[in-house]
Structure 1
Amino acid sequence: MQATGVLAQSNSARINYLLNCQGCHSADGKGSAGGAPDMTLYGKEFLQSAPGRRFFIQVPGSSNSSLSNLELADVLNFIASELIQYNEAIQFTETEVEQYRGTKISNVVETRNQLILELVR
């Protein structure tokens, strides 16, 4: 039996996360020591702010991925709901991803740390 609708979208997003993101961020989004950061730490705060949402779209792994804008939006929604477990997050859309994806973040660590300082006051 073939999955349809939201279930198919969710399965596709999970598979795309596993294929494109888990290598650095691990299957649970917790990152790796000395490598990619834990997306679940401050994830809710990032998802609640426009700069944080743009950050998720503009980090190199997202902005440079071969995923389409719609596929990336689905992966980001998977991260929000399944890994960060923030089901109240506004859903990423293809249009939002398209709008911000072209702007690349040059210093990811510095940008992330600055966002954390601003979001967790």
Structure 2
Amino acid sequence: MNCQGCHTPDGSGAGSVPRMKGHVGIFLQSQEGREYLVRVPGSATSALNDERLAAVLNWILTEFSGDSMNSPFKAFSAEEVGRLRQSPLKEVEQYRLKVLRDLSSMSMNE
């Protein structure tokens, strides 16, 4: 099941689950956003090993970011994923909102 179980195979999201398609790349615009993608429970607690999870995250970013991601992007490595997934997020929605607010503030200050 992995990511598509909640985000659906096309990245559109099911119910209240956030849409990835056309949006997920914005998280790479900050370190906190980058960490968020690994630390969400679906990633951090996945049965995939670090190498496979890094590959899946990189695929998601390539396939679903659209114009939301600056090219080229720094791909996730197995080492980075292994380090970050040791601290899964407990307050996912609050953390996501903080990251998005910070990103919005950054873009308004440019």
**TM superposition score category, shorter chain reference:** 0.7 to 0.9
Quick one: distance in 2 between partners of 1:22 and 1:94? 21
Q: Are 2:20 and 1:39 aligned?
A: yes
Q: Are 2:65 and 1:84 aligned?
A: yes
1:62-101 alignment, distance < 5 Å = 62-85=43-66, 86=69, 87-101=71-85
What 5-or-longer segments of structure 2 have no aligned partner? 106-110
Matched letter for residue 21 of structure 1:
C
User: Would the alpha carbon gap of residues 99 and 80 (structure 1) be closer, same or farther in structure 2, given more than 3 Å must change?
Assistant: same
Of residues 93, 98, 104, the one that matches 1:114 is 98
Q: Are 2:36 and 1:55 aligned?
A: yes
Q: Who is 1:23 aligned against?
A: 5
TM-score normalised according to structure 2 size: 0.85
Matched letter for residue 111 of structure 1:
Y
Matched letter for residue 5 of structure 2:
G
Q: Who is 1:11 aligned against?
A: none
Number of residue-to-residue matches in the alignment: 102
1:1-23 CA-partner distances (Å, limit 9, x unpaired): xxxxxxxxxxxxxxxxxx31111
Quick one: distance in 1 between partners of 2:101 and 2:40? 18
Matched letter for residue 54 of structure 1:
E
Quick one: distance in 1 between partners of 2:24 and 2:39? 15
Quick one: distance in 2 between partners of 1:99 and 1:48? 20
Percent identity for Structure 1 against Structure 2:
36
Matched letter for residue 106 of structure 1:
K
Q: Which structure has the higher relative contact order (CA within 8 Å, separation 6+)?
A: 2
The offset of 1:41, in angstroms, is 5.4
TM-score normalised according to structure 1 size: 0.77
CA contact (8 A) 1:51 1:115 kept: yes
